Amino acid sequence: MNKDSRIYVAGHNGMVGSALLRRLVSHGYRHLIARSRQELDLLDQRAVSRFFAEENIDVVLLAAAKVGGINANLTQPASFLYENLVIESNVIHAAFASGTPKLVFFGSSCIYPKYCPQPIKEDYLLTSGFEQTNEAYAIAKIAGLKLCEAYNRQHGTRYISVMPTNLYGPNDNYDLQNGHVLAALIRKTHEAKLAGLRSVSVWGSGSPRREFLHVDDLASAVLALLDADHVEGVFNIGYGRDISIADLAYLVCDVVGFSGSLDFDSSKPDGTPRKLLDASKLTGLGWSPTISLRDGIAATYADFTEKMQRTGYASA
């Protein structure tokens, strides 16, 4: 890949896609291609094929997907399975059919079994059952990973898949029902502070552990992979340490400046007890994360409050 490569960032308005775009622009890549959902519906196979036939794309960063937190996955399994299967099938096939040499497919740490040795290695895929709350999304993302491998084997493409851990950062989705935990806790503690509330609800027991990677660190990892020669297969992208949901909530309260108490709501699901990734395949290429959780939360909170002031609401 070089600075004149024609790079298509699918999902450029989302948290991951916008971070990729920021990184590519800051690193001097000059031919970046992006289409909004209104300009190109990735669920429309004919439109996607026509787009690839016209655009002469060298690299695809397939960050477009239907994503969401534990409650969104629990309540919308058909949407998560259908939309992610169709988007990835349309884009991966059209990339192959138009001769695009490089593609990065984005999965998630939730594709791994609910119970497997920690930290999780790429080889643990499909070695035991899924976490029920996100089985649909996990199966869709595994299908995308396997589709890349199948095109590589049958047609000699070199499409790779990355499995990021839980992500956060600018342009996150702050919707309290469909977003992820860190964005939800930032919004809930901020609103509780402004309203002078005495407590904030935290879903579940607080005992699950999660690893969090700032989305700008994810973007630097993806560029490190694209710059490396002859990389292939699946790469975990993680921070290297995890934290309990309870301790995360206390950390967010500290950063936001909310001094009330936390109410743990056992009527909400905990989900996977732990999903710490082994990212040594990637760190072996020389990459490492640079944004600490506390600094990342503080920067994300600043982004959130700025967006609230500008738009009055912070959902994606």
Q: In 10 A of CB 156, how many CB atoms?
A: 9
How many residues are there in the chain?
316
Taking CB under 6 A as the criterion, the residue among 9, 16, 202, 213 binding ligand GFB is 202
In the bound state, the residue with its beta carbon closest to ligand GFB is 69
Smallest separation (angstroms) from ligand GFB to the CB of 201: 7
Question: Nearest approach, Cβ of 153 to ligand GFB (angstroms)?
Answer: 26
- Give the residue, chosen from 48, 160, 181, 215, that forms a contact with ligand GFB under the rule CB under 6 A: 181
CA pair distance 281, 122, nearest whole angstrom:
9
Per DSSP, what are the bridge partners of residue 31? 6
Strands 31-33 and 261-265: unpaired
Q: Which of residues 107-146 bind ligand GFB (CB under 6 A)?
A: 108, 110, 133-134, 137
Instruction: Give me the 208-227 binding string for ligand GFB, x by CB under 6 A, dash otherwise.
Output: x-x-----------------
- Pick between residue 14 and residue 208 the one whose CB is nearest to ligand GFB: 208
Q: Is 137 a catalytic residue?
A: yes
Closest C-alpha among 142, 89, 88 to residue 112: 142
- Residue 179, φ and ψ in degrees, nearest 5: -80, 180
Question: 235 — phi, psi (to 5°)?
Answer: -130, 120
What separation in angstroms does the CA of 32 have from each of 27, 157, 222?
A: 12, 21, 15
Place of tokens 């002078």: 196
Minimum CB distance to ligand GFB smaller for 119 or for 204: 204
By CB under 6 A, tell whether 63 contacts ligand GFB. Answer: no
Q: Which member of 271, 277, 279, 291 binds ligand GFB (CB under 6 A)? A: 271
- Provide the binding-site residues for ligand GFB, judged by CB under 6 A: 69-71, 73, 108, 110, 133-134, 137, 166, 179-181, 184, 202-204, 208, 210, 245, 268-272
Positions marked active-site: 137
